[in-house]
Amino acid sequence: MRAFTYERAATPQDAAAALAGHPQARFIAGGTNLLDLMKLQIEAPTHLVDVNHLGLDRIEPTPEGGLRIGALVRNTDLAADARVRRDYAVLSRALLAGASGQLRNKATTAGNLLQRTRCPYFYDTDQPCNKRQPGSGCGALQGYSRQLAVIGGSESCIATHPSDMAVAMRALDAVVETIRADGSARAIPIADFHLLPGDTPHLETVLEQGELITAVTLPPPVGGRQVYRKVRDRASYAFALISVAAVLQPDGTGRVALGGVAPKPWRVAAADAALPQGAQAVASALLQGAAPRPDNAFKLLLAERTLAAVLAEGRA
Amino acid sequence: MKFDTAATTNPIDRLRIIGQPADRIDGRLKTTGTAPYAYERQDIPGDMAHAYVVVAGIAKGRIGAMTLEDAQAAPGVLAIVTAANAGELGQGKMNTARLLGGPHVEHYHQAIAVVVAESFEQAREAAQAIRVTWLPEEGNYDLAAARTAMGDAGQEDDTRVGDFEAGFASAPVQLDATYTTPDQTHAMMEPHATIAAWDGGSLTVWCSNQMVAWTRGDLALTLGLEKEKVRLVSPYVGGGFGGKLFLRADTVLAALAARATGRPVKLALPRPLIANNTTHRPATIQRIRIGAGRDGRIAAIAHESWSGNLKGGDPETAVDQTKLLYAGAHRLTGLRLAELDLPEGNSMRAPGEAPGMMALEIAMDEMAEKLGMDPVEFRILNDTQVDPADPSRPFSQRQLVECLRRGAERFGWSRRQARPGQVREGSWLVGFGMAAGFRNNLQTKSAARVRLDGDGGVIVETDMTDIGTGSYTILAQTAAEMMGVALDRVAVRLGDSDFPASAGSGGQWGANNSTAGVYAACVKLREAVAQALGFNASDAVFEDGEVRLGNRAVPLAEAGALSAEDRIEYGDLAKRYQQSTFAGHFVEVAVDAATGEVRVRRMLAVCAAGRILNPKTARSQVIGAMTMGVGAALMEELAVDTSRGFFVNHDLAGYEVPVHADIPHQEVIFLDETDPLSSPMKAKGVGELGLCGVGAAVANAVYNATGVRVRDYPVTLDKHLARLPAVA
């Protein structure tokens, strides 16, 4: 860890301004990921702007009938919110499938979206990693890749996004709201929020330097049976081998997103459309063009079988 | 005291205190966070400095250049020690690779420097500022490739009884199968940590170590000191599992850092470095062949195991149990060692038998199925009460059959469906599995000093360690029973090389030998007390804080502040009798029919391991070991990058061990047993017995649930997913 300076921002715009033009500065909220990365010098910010006290910790109804989740709402509070449990059960279930009680007490909504990959080569500073050190190569491509992406990756990077929450939000068509240093705001559909690695795996989201997430908005409830199924080697406290977030309607239509397979929550329009045709058609649409490694090819079959179980649960 | 004939009746047999489920006397310290672990000690005099280790970023090769200037100039830095300025270092007897490497690198994350600074944060930041250029060399990191390259090499050292090839060839029912177990890391909670301080030419280290005398000796050898100039203190150990049997880099580097700065220095190994910097359990490839008659009697059995290690290292002794566990006239066992450039392999959680039983006990399950026999009955049929290689050598005690029968009845084994893949409960496929448990009992000399404080209290001093096992408690129980005082009148002081040398903690040898050492010292002390108080030592009764004979009773306190020291040592009983411990392990699992996820539902262990000194601490040992068995069966694996030569998942996010949600109801039954050939305590080891066989019992239960046989551990879902039934 390098020595750094610290300030506590008073307003969201102040926070954004404090980072703008200061590429070595970072926001800090729950710190559940950033502090670990700083200890390992994977991140070495020279300045931290604490955004914990900006009042962005409320969950409010929107005029359209949806919910606006403040960026600083803790994962525990979001999972326990009665409106979330009633109308967006897939989100509550996804949150509770992630991390541990202690971590969820600290981790925030925006921080969860921005958490970085758990690829072991990213975490080992003696190994090449294009995400950590652009141009150094990718150790995982020819190395150990059991946890890593089967689709959406590139010859530069096959890291996955580790979030459970984001997968549910992708199925719910959430929108990420931000503010920039000049005070301007924008609304980014979650589908567009995370970037695929291409040749620049160190660029992970569309956020500009200094742009601060203020909220995540959920559209009005879509009903249906909402399922989050996370598959892992142990019963708790493990990242997903794959996960499925699904909203299934009585007429057989619905939406589905996958976690653990790609650098971002993975949803494909054609797969939603294929839901009435069953798991094989959905899996095939979701994973068309997949390029698995020998270590993680099992994820294709696992995704199809898990989708089948989820669809069966939806019918039950 | 030399133990060379079977034990007769002695004061331990009263079982007023021994054999009782006493609470851990260190339990309050542990649960309130007040047991002083090495890194946390606040009682070390002097101005403490902090050290951080720098490690090799390649698996094999040399350091081209190491740039220290930025680190030396960093705030708070006091010293940087490397091989270039550390002076000449020796090599510990138990170490294969050097604990301070450079310029040659022998394995990934080998220590190459230590940075000392005023604070931990300063030491870490400076360590991260050291720049090294590497000159990597080609290495061998792939055990399967090494095995292929070895061909038949190593067979000349095989152990043979009868004519295996002929016996196997003529057996009407045969199995020839190969199993693999992965590299594993100990994953103890407390990392390796040391505080070191010099006083002139004398060194004291406060560390976390299982074997005080070994490690003191190896530290002296490494630093070129007389053993008497080194004191090692390790009273509390937050788990070891074999990873702290030996001198490791934390202790050597802390000592060098303290010498360089003239200040006490503390150092802990960061978690992400432990898997590659320290020792691990080596992976194995095991080929097992069993030939039997149609009646189920084994005629021929062969077990060969390949494992790798650094040059000069040892193989994983995965075949030893196969020499002893089942009958059969024709036998072959062999260990083959490949030279690999992965980190150093060594003892972990029942080395040898743990991975060996994982393979052997699947093979027995497969063989039972080929024979159309129940797996419990197949094992019982092939029981032996003598060493199969030397029938004149009986087992001192062997209740394997009783363990299996009792376990089968208790578990409801008769409800098992012999045909696999038949039981479905909702989305779960359900199966039962079992395995025998086996681990040898080792007799090792162990010394202690026992003192009377003159006020009716008893003090026990020995360099024995308590690695979370309950040593404090059973040693106190032993002294209380022998001296006839209440348990709370005994103070036990452990883990200090100033105390008499004990057996230490490892290989499940700690409990029986260290209590026997205390027994020996107590016998001597009783003689001194009897003499002081005018009793006939052989007839006097020590009870309720008094010494009694006939109508005369004298408080123990009146004997004054007496002290006695002795050690237990052993004759040839272990040569004349095979001493082993036995268990029956039974497991029920459920496998998700869609995803293939395995979840254990219940576990039972029935153990026969001599006298159980404290059923509460023994049960804790066994349920902990059963948990390790679940880890080994279902998730624990150090993933090898076979091109870069290192263990990739080297933190506790990547290396998964069971969490609470993975562990269901666990039941442990101890058979009533005493073994008068093991020691005056009539006890044996039990901790590792609870692990040996569990992995195979889980794997066999998974097979029974799914009908898909997995022979490569861990049994993760990807290994059977493609062969599970279609999802409805």
**Is B646 inside any structural domain?**
yes
Q: Which helix (H) or strand (E) holds B194?
A: strand B193-199
The one-letter amino acid at B208 = S
Cβ contact, residue pair B658, A234, below 8 Å: yes
Q: Which of B518, B543, B573 is the last residue of a domain?
A: B573
**Cβ separation of A301 and B721 shorter than 8 Å?**
yes
Cβ neighbours of B183 in A, within 8 Å: none
Q: Determine the Cα–Cα distance for residues B645 and B310; give it in Å rounded to an integer.
A: 12
| Cβ contact B431:B502 at 8 Å | no
Q: Rounded to whole angstroms, how far apart are CA atoms B362 and B149?
A: 27
Indicate if B508 and B406 belong to the same structural domain.
Answer: no
**Residue A153 phi, psi (nearest 5):** -80, -175
Distance from C-alpha of A264 to C-alpha of A285, rounded to nearest angstrom: 17
Nearest C-alpha in A relative to B664? A235
Q: Residues of chain B whose C-beta is under 8 A from some C-beta in A?
A: 55, 57-58, 75, 108, 121, 124-125, 128, 272, 427, 592, 594-597, 599, 634-635, 639-641, 643-644, 648-651, 653-654, 656, 658-662, 714, 716-718, 721-722, 724, 727-728
The pLDDT, as a whole number, for residue A314 is: 87
Contact status of A178 with chain B (Cβ, < 8 Å): no
Please, which contacts does B371-380 make with residues 24 or more away whose CB atoms are closer than 8 Å?
B371/B173, B371/B292, B371/B294, B371/B296, B373/B296, B374/B418, B375/B434, B375/B700, B376/B404, B376/B405, B376/B408, B376/B413, B376/B434, B376/B584, B377/B296, B378/B296, B379/B326, B379/B404, B379/B436, B380/B404, B380/B405
pLDDT in tens, B258-287: 999 999 999 999 999 999 999 999 999 999
Per-residue pLDDT at B426: 94
Task: Say yes or no for a CB contact (<8 Å) between A123 and B272.
Answer: yes
How many residues would you count in chain A?
A: 316
In a domain, B637, yes or no: yes
Share of residues in chain B with pLDDT > 90 (%): 99
Q: What is the pLDDT of residues B325-346, one digit of tens each?
A: 999 999 999 999 999 999 999 9
Mean pLDDT of the B307-322 span? 98
Residue B635 domain flag? yes
Q: Are residues B454 and B535 in the same domain?
A: yes
CB-CB under 8 Å, A146 with B427: no
Is B719 found in the same domain as B589? Answer: yes
Which of B595, B630, B655, B706 to mutate to test binding with chain A, by most A CBs within 10 Å of its CB? B595
**A143-180: pLDDT as tens digits:** 999 999 999 999 999 999 999 999 999 999 999 999 99
Query: What kind and span of H or E run contains B300?
Result: strand B298-309
**Please, which pLDDT band fits residue A316 given cuts at 50, 70 and 90?**
confident
Q: Looking at the complex, does the CB of residue A142 fall below 8 Å from at least one CB of chain B?
A: yes
Q: Which residue has the tokens 């432990």?
A: B274
Residues B520 and B633 in one domain: no
Q: Is residue B592 part of a domain?
A: yes
Confirm whether B249 is domain-assigned: no
Q: Considering only CB atoms, which chain A residues are within 8 Å of B651?
A: 123
Pairing verdict, β A25-28 and A47-50:
parallel
* Residues B472 and B526 reside in one and the same domain: yes
CA nearest A189: which of A92, A127, A267, A251?
Answer: A267
A228 close contact with B: CB closer than 8 A: no
For B513-536, give the DSSP string.
HHHHHHHHHHHHHHHHHHHHHT--
| pLDDT given at position B605 | 98
Chain A residue with minimal CA distance to B427? A309
Tell whether A279 is within 8 A of chain B (Cβ): yes
Q: CA triplet B73, B77, B79: central angle to 5 degrees?
A: 105
Residues B464-490 pLDDT 10s? 999 999 999 999 999 999 999 999 999
What is the chain B residue with the closest CA to A307?
B594
CB contact under 8 A, A144 and B639: yes
Q: Which of A143, A236, A309 sits opposite B641 (nearest CB)?
A: A143
What is d(CA B688, CA B509) in angstroms, rounded to the nearest whole number?
A: 10
Mean pLDDT of the residues in chain B: 97
- B612, B706: one domain: yes
Q: B649: nearest CA in chain A?
A: A120
Would you state the pLDDT for residue A315?
Answer: 82
pLDDT, position B154 = 87
Residues B370 and B481 in one domain: no
A vs B, Cβ pairs < 8 A, gives 103
Cross-chain CB nearest to B595 (options A1, A143, A305): A305
For chain B, say whether A311 makes contact (Cβ under 8 Å).
Answer: no
Domain of residue B681: give its range: 352-441+579-723
Compare CB distances from A236 to B640, B648, B659 and report the shortest one's residue. Answer: B659
Q: Give the residue carrying structure tokens 């093991």.
A: B678
CB burial string B312-337: b at 16+ within 10 A, e below:
ebbbbbbbbbbbbbbbbebbbbbbbb
Residue B296 lies inside a defined structural domain of this protein: no
Note which residues in 143-172 of chain A have CB less than 8 A from chain B: 143-144, 146
Closest-CA residue of A relative to B651 is: A120
Q: Is the pLDDT of residue B728 over 80?
A: no
Q: In DSSP terms, which residues pair with B267 in a beta bridge?
A: B194
CA distance A120 to chain B (A): 6
Question: What gap in Å lies between CA B423 and CA B590, rounded to an integer?
Answer: 10
| Single-letter code of the amino acid located at B502 | S
Mention every residue, 6+ apart, whose C-beta is less than 8 A from residue B488.
none
CA distance B130 to chain A (A): 13
Q: Which of A46, A100, A144, A239 to mutate to test the interface with B (most CBs of B within 10 A)?
A: A144
Shortest Cα–Cα distance, B651 to chain A (Å): 9
User: Domain for residue B680, yes or no?
Assistant: yes
pLDDT above 90 for A21:
no
* Chain A hits for B661, Cβ within 8 Å: 234-237
Last residue of a domain, one of B523, B555, B573: B573
What stretch of H or E contains B697? helix B694-706
**For residues B586-612, average pLDDT:** 98
Task: Give B54-76 pLDDT, tens digit per residue.
Answer: 999 999 999 999 999 999 999 99
Residues of A in contact with B275 (CB under 8 A): none
pTM, full prediction: 0.98
B643 contacts on A by Cβ (under 8 Å): 142-143
The pLDDT of residue B10: 97
Q: CB A121 to CB B648 under 8 A?
A: yes
C-alpha to C-alpha distances, B520 to B31, B516, B680, nearest whole angstrom: 32, 6, 9
Asked if A294 has any chain B CB less than 8 Å from its own CB, the reply is no
Q: Could you identify the residue written with the tokens 């742009």?
A: A211
CATH code at position B479:
3.30.365.10
Domain-ending residue, one of B541, B573, B605: B573
Evaluate whether A127 touches A261 at the Cβ level (below 8 Å): no
Q: How confident is the model at residue B153 (pLDDT cuts 50, 70, 90)?
A: confident
Q: Looking at the complex, report in whole angstroms how far the Cα of residue A39 sits from the nearest Cα belonging to chain B.
A: 9
DSSP state of B549: E
Contact, B301 vs B331, CB < 8 A?
yes
A233/B125 CB distance under 8 A? no
Q: In this complex, do A121 and B125 lie within 8 Å of one another by their Cβ atoms?
A: no
> What is the pLDDT at residue A203?
98
pLDDT band for position B709 (cuts 50, 70, 90):
very high
pLDDT of the residue at A143:
97
> How far, in Å, CA of A45 to CA of A35, rounded?
10
Sheet bearing B111-117, strands edge to edge: B77-82, B111-117, B49-55, B265-268, B193-199, B202-207, B230-233
The reply to whether A236 touches chain B by the CB within 8 Å rule is yes
Residues of B annotated as part of the active site: 688
Do B718 and A302 count as a contact with CB atoms less than 8 A apart? yes
Six-digit token string for B50: 């902090």
Report which DSSP code applies to B567.
E
pLDDT in tens, A33-63: 999 999 999 999 999 999 999 999 999 999 9
Select from B46, B64, B47 the least CA-distant residue to B56.
Answer: B64
- Residue B641: per-residue pLDDT: 98
Number of structural domains found in chain B: 2
Structure tokens at B65: 């250049």
Same domain for B500 and B467? Answer: yes
Q: What does chain A look like in DSSP terms, one character per residue?
A: ----EEEE-SSHHHHHHHHTT-TTEEEESS-TTHHHHHHTTSS--SEEEE-TTSS---EEE-TTS-EEEETT-BHHHHHH-HHHHHH-HHHHHHHHTSS-HHHHHH-BHHHHHHPPP--HHHH-TTS-BTTTSTTS-BTTTTS--TTS-SSS--SS-------SHHHHHHHTT-EEEEE-TTS-EEEEEHHHHBPP-TT-TT--BSPPTT-EEEEEEEPSP--SEEEEEEE-SSSSS---SEEEEEEE-TTS-EEEEEESSSSS-B--HHHHHTGGG-HHHHHHHHTTT----TTTTHHHHHHHHHHHHHHHHHH-
Residues B533 and B664 in one domain: no
Q: Write out chain B residues lying below 8 Å of A3, CB-based.
A: 75, 125
Residue A216: pLDDT band by 50, 70, 90 thresholds? very high
Side-chain-facing half-sphere of B225: CA atoms under 13 Å: 22
User: B543 and B455, same structural domain?
Assistant: yes
Residue B347 lies inside a defined structural domain of this protein: no
Contacts of A311 in chain B (CB under 8 A): none
ipTM of this complex prediction, to 2 decimal places: 0.97
pLDDT of residue B684: 97
Measured in angstroms, the CA of A309 and the nearest CA of chain B are apart by 6
**Helix, coil or strand: residue B452:** strand
Smallest CA–CA distance from B717 into chain A, residue: A233
Supply the mean pLDDT for chain A: 97
Query: Do B611 and B660 lie in a common domain?
Result: yes
Integer Cα distance of A307 and A282 in angstroms: 8
Mutate to test the interface with B, among A305, A306, A311 (most CBs of B within 10 A): A305
- Range list of β-strands (E), B56-192: 61-67, 77-82, 104-105, 111-117, 131-136, 159-161, 173-181
| Cα–Cα distance, B250 to B114 (Å, whole number) | 10
Q: How far apart are CA A309 and CA B667, in angstroms?
A: 33
Across the interface, do B125 and A1 touch by the CB < 8 Å criterion?
yes
Cα gap B514→B281, rounded to integer Å: 26
pLDDT in tens, B551-564: 999 999 999 999 99
With CB atoms and an 8 Å threshold, state whether B128 touches A305. Answer: no
DSSP B686: -
The distance of A1 to chain B (nearest Cα, Å) reads 6
Residues B626 and B694 in one domain: yes
